[in-house]
Structure 1
Amino acid sequence: MDEHTHADRPTQPAGGFTPSAALDPSAFYSLYLGSLALPDEDHRTHASIVLLLGGRLGLRPGEIQHLHEGWIHWDRGELRIPDRDPCACRLCWQTARHAQRAGDGRRLNEIITETTWGSPGGGRTIPFAWSQRLTAALATICEEEYLDLSVEAMAQLITASAQLAQGLDGDEIDFRNLRATGASFFADAGFPAHRVASLLGEDLDTARAFTRQEGGDAREQLFRLFGASPEEAAPEGTYVLLTDPEPFDGEPFDPREYDADWRHSRADAVAGDPDPLRNPRPVTNPTETTLDPSALGERTQLDSDSDLVADDNTATTLGQWVHEQDRQRRDGAAANSAVATDAATATAAEGSTSDTGVDDAEILDPYERIDGEPIATVETTVACGTIADGQPVPCRVVLGPESLLIVHDESMVATEHKRIDLSTVVGQSIDYVPSQFETTFDSTVAVAFDEGEGREIAVLGLSGNERINFANEVFKLILSECPIFVTHPARRGGRVTNKEPATGRLTVDDRSLTITSLDDQTADFTIHLSDIMHMETDRQTIDGEERWSLSIRHLGSDGAVESEITARDDRQYKLLRQFAKREYRKRKSQLRELTLTDDQKEVLVALYTADSHIDISTIISQQADNLQTILTTLEEAGLVRTGTNGTELTGLGRVAVNNKVEDVNA
């Protein structure tokens, strides 16, 4: 038996894991250090999170996969796993199919709408604020919206971490060991069996196998043990991972930053967000067997920044469904679809700017409803709550400088139409398809807008480059000459510059962000989307007010720099974040799927290490035609570009060097 497992406990099977499988504190410490030795930055981040949440909070793999900020009460420092969190992601469809094969007589859609997602252990509350490292791990997940890992990928990270850990057998450590370690930790903390059972979401017999002494309430007990000084709470450093926030070498976050003040600040920020996220996992297509997968594209119906999240998979109209979602998100109340209809009727009766078209018989030409010259006009299928009762119908869509007009059936005396002021647009999502319309749309642009009566959505059936170009035009119109605060550079080469935020204006185009400074101390600059190396949201205090900011690490004229951008208007900030992150996520996804040859790696490393003015053919042993072929393939992949100074790496190329070529000199 491994000396690092709890050999003094009963070994009978209990809920799929046994006390003898639990790692003692020193073994878990070694396992965590093993995760920090992984060469890939993303792997280190994900492995450390999985180990902490599984081995200290006892979470199941599915719970880690579905965890998001909607589960976290930052002020109280509690993780509140819901009894059910409506979800129709790819994993949930797999679960539904397994249930059907196992004898569940319901249709797949019924299993999804009635069951997924739900934890096998049911709803429960787990305190975490007593450890800044646990707080940091949860905050890191929230930064990514959710942890996009399969169970197999988590298992591989656990194994890889164990193989790099001292004194552990990498092939013998799996998720059962982690959950057993979590159960053992709670038992060692002094909780009685019923509290361990509730913390783990397990039966009482399983918990009894781990408990040895009675204790008190979980939150107070853990704060008593670990809220005190590390020496008092954990003599001889038994639980140094939990008691000492000092960061380790290679750790993906600095636990010292995630103290009580940070939690309360985060709680205030979340409370101040008028549209808090529910479940950010992408909704996937449930009818893959009847659709050509190549026609679906990248089914990222949900852009989590735009809050286009389906809580209901029933056959309701789009308008009812959106209003029901909004009420559930804001009030937590039960849905009542009649309210949405009443609200729409009342809005029209009061002369709202929401144009239902009922009293506008004279409006037959959509161009008359557009301010200025139309920028784009398409004829396609549209689903909008105020047109045709929210059902998909053929429409003409006209984008103008300040508004979007949707017109249905111009042959009618009273033409149905909807005019959406761009000043009311709060989000966009490419390829978002409400579940009730999956057989109608293959690819879309969904526009979310709020005219004061709650969030509404118009889904436009667009495909290929047309949908990208249309979405970009909307972004460009809304973000043109956007007033901002900018700190540039906030960091250069990893060094903080201590520059103060300056006022400026931002404009976006298809491939870049252009910042014009209104301060003599900050020069104008452009961020090419292909040069973005990392991006995250942050908080900045400007003129005594705390604001959300977008921190972007990118290539500048003199190497890598970091710039912080904050829009004065929260709506424009959110749209800016959405625009920039869409391309960044796309490129990160491409990078994960990218396979490089040794010759390509050699060229990338040469470009990374050499001065841009050096002819790399002088330092690479390749024939000229072969070298040109390699450079062409790298340019097509977005990793290099050729400019006035010769061939150089893009930001994505630099990320590729860091993440993909660690074995180039092996």
Structure 2
Amino acid sequence: MSESVIADFVGTFDSNVLKTSEPVKGRVLLSEKRLVLAVRNADKLTIPLTSIFDVAVGQVPDELHGFFESTVTVAFEKNNKRFVAAIEADSDKIEKFSNVLFKALLNGTEMTIKHPARVGGRVTDAEFQAAKMFLKPQQVELKNSDETVTIKLSAVTEFDQMKRQIGGAKRPVLEVHHLPFGDALLTQVTTDSSRKMSILGRYLRLEYSDLMSELKDLSPSEDEKELLVAIYSGAGEKGLSLPQVLDMDPSEVTYLLNELQEQELVVDSSDGTKLTPKGQVLVNRHLEDVNA
């Protein structure tokens, strides 16, 4: 592989292209152009990234249940036929590899965005503009020469995909409803590549479902929700302490903060108490319910 390798580890893999009766161990190498699964006997499968049309994390093909647990499954085209390759390693390696793979597939993609398409219930006069997409931890950045639009997954309340008339043709558009600063915004995103659009949708669903799954068993009290909203709103940064803002006894606020820390909804930082991504999602959902 002549280009720089961005991931290299030993794993177990299987593909209906490889001539093996069961999964085999070998090296998994990823560059910005291709994924290579190499077996010790010099047999290898090279998958150009441009041929990959889907990536599933944690989903194992039916025929491989019992062999694999923590996996990345890649769907790709070869000689006008569709194949899959399942890769297994320990959960930490798979998590890191999946993140690097999504970045290799999507970073720098030419996008067309309208931001904001709507503020609250008001449709704006914003036009679709060109931008390039880059994945960052828990967020997507869309950059052009004029601005960078950042969509934090913790601020997203809903994803929709539909067809819109753009440039005289109907194209699939991803609509992102989010509350980055307390205002409900709608951002519309599309690209000429249906393959990239599908992979982006898979990435966003995966990242967002991870956040949502962590919230399923949480049921904060009304006082805890009020405290989360106060932190979200910047209470304590304008000369007022949280007890003053909430009209509560300081010991009661301390108790509530400890409860929220145990639930991983807030965290102490050098700038004071901040919301974690889980806390941000919870506040966004709460504000959406209040404003409905």
Q: Give the TM-score normalised by the residue count of structure 1.
A: 0.40
Q: Distance in 2 between matches of 1:658 and 1:652?
A: 10
Aligned to 1:443: 70
- Residues 1:568 and 2:192 aligned together: yes
Q: Is the 8 A contact 1:483 1:567 kept in 2?
A: yes
Q: Distance in 2 between matches of 1:549 and 1:451?
A: 28
1:609-653 deviation digits (Å, cap 9, x = unpaired): 77684543313314253244244245x24x788686964585412
Aligned CA distance change for structure 1 residues 485 and 394 (closer, same or farther; 3 Å): same
1:584-616 deviation digits (Å, cap 9, x = unpaired): 122223333322245423313444677684543
- Residues 1:400 and 2:24 aligned together: no
Q: Distance in 1 between matches of 2:176 and 2:289?
A: 21
| Higher RCO (CA 8 Å, separation ≥ 6 residues) | 2
Report the 3-state secondary structure (helix = DSSP H, G, I; strand = E; otherwise coil) of the residue aligned with 1:507.
strand
Comparing 461-470 with 651-660, which one deviates more in the overlay? Answer: 651-660
Q: Is the 8 A contact 2:161 2:172 kept in 1?
A: yes
Structure 2 counterpart of 1:526, one-letter code: T
Q: Is the 8 A contact 1:532 1:651 kept in 2?
A: no
- Residues 1:556 and 2:180 aligned together: yes
Aligned CA distance change for structure 1 residues 642 and 617 (closer, same or farther; 3 Å): farther
Q: Distance in 2 between matches of 1:512 and 1:533?
A: 14
Report the 3-state secondary structure (helix = DSSP H, G, I; strand = E; otherwise coil) of the residue aligned with 1:619.
helix
Q: Distance in 1 between matches of 2:12 and 2:176?
A: 37
- Residues 1:514 and 2:141 aligned together: yes
Aligned CA distance change for structure 1 residues 589 and 648 (closer, same or farther; 3 Å): closer
Deviation, structure 1 residue 503: 1.0
Aligned to 1:625: 254
Aligned to 1:545: 169
- Residues 1:418 and 2:56 aligned together: no
Aligned to 1:470: 97
Which of the pair is proportionally richer in helix? 1
Q: Distance in 1 between matches of 2:131 and 2:193?
A: 13
Aligned to 2:218: 594
Aligned CA distance change for structure 1 residues 659 and 565 (closer, same or farther; 3 Å): closer
Structure 1 counterpart of 2:5, one-letter code: P
Deviation, structure 1 residue 423: 0.8
Q: Distance in 1 between matches of 2:128 and 2:210?
A: 29
Aligned CA distance change for structure 1 residues 552 and 452 (closer, same or farther; 3 Å): farther
Deviation, structure 1 residue 574: 1.0
Deviation, structure 1 residue 444: 0.7
Q: Distance in 2 between matches of 1:567 and 1:643?
A: 40
Report the 3-state secondary structure (helix = DSSP H, G, I; strand = E; otherwise coil) of the residue aligned with 1:596.
coil
Deviation, structure 1 residue 384: 1.1
Structure 2 counterpart of 1:616, one-letter code: L
Structure 2 counterpart of 1:619, one-letter code: V
Aligned CA distance change for structure 1 residues 659 and 525 (closer, same or farther; 3 Å): closer
Structure 2 counterpart of 1:549, one-letter code: V
- Residues 1:432 and 2:75 aligned together: no
Aligned CA distance change for structure 1 residues 396 and 618 (closer, same or farther; 3 Å): same
Q: Distance in 2 between matches of 1:659 and 1:544?
A: 34
Q: Distance in 2 between matches of 1:555 and 1:440?
A: 42
Q: Is the 8 A contact 1:567 1:573 kept in 2?
A: yes
Aligned to 1:372: 3
Deviation, structure 1 residue 447: 0.8
1:9-55 deviation digits (Å, cap 9, x = unpaired): xxxxxxxxxxxxxxxxxxxxxxxxxxxxxxxxxxxxxxxxxxxxxxx
Q: Is the 8 A contact 1:613 1:645 kept in 2?
A: no
Aligned CA distance change for structure 1 residues 642 and 648 (closer, same or farther; 3 Å): farther
Q: Report the RMSD for the aligned CA atoms in angstroms.
A: 2.8
Aligned to 1:381: 12
Q: Distance in 1 between matches of 2:94 and 2:171?
A: 32
Q: Distance in 1 between matches of 2:153 and 2:268?
A: 13
Q: Find 2:121's aligned residue among 472, 481, 494.
A: 494
Aligned to 1:453: 80
Deviation, structure 1 residue 467: 1.2
Q: Distance in 2 between matches of 1:599 and 1:469?
A: 37
Structure 1 counterpart of 2:227, one-letter code: V
Q: Distance in 1 between matches of 2:17 and 2:267?
A: 47
Aligned to 1:207: none
Q: Distance in 2 between matches of 1:539 and 1:641?
A: 43
Matches within 5 A, 1:155-304: none
Report the 3-state secondary structure (helix = DSSP H, G, I; strand = E; otherwise coil) of the residue aligned with 1:573.
helix
Aligned CA distance change for structure 1 residues 492 and 655 (closer, same or farther; 3 Å): same
Which sections of structure 2, spanning at least 5 residues, go unmatched? Answer: none
Report the 3-state secondary structure (helix = DSSP H, G, I; strand = E; otherwise coil) of the residue aligned with 1:389.
coil
Bigger radius of gyration:
1
Aligned CA distance change for structure 1 residues 613 and 548 (closer, same or farther; 3 Å): farther
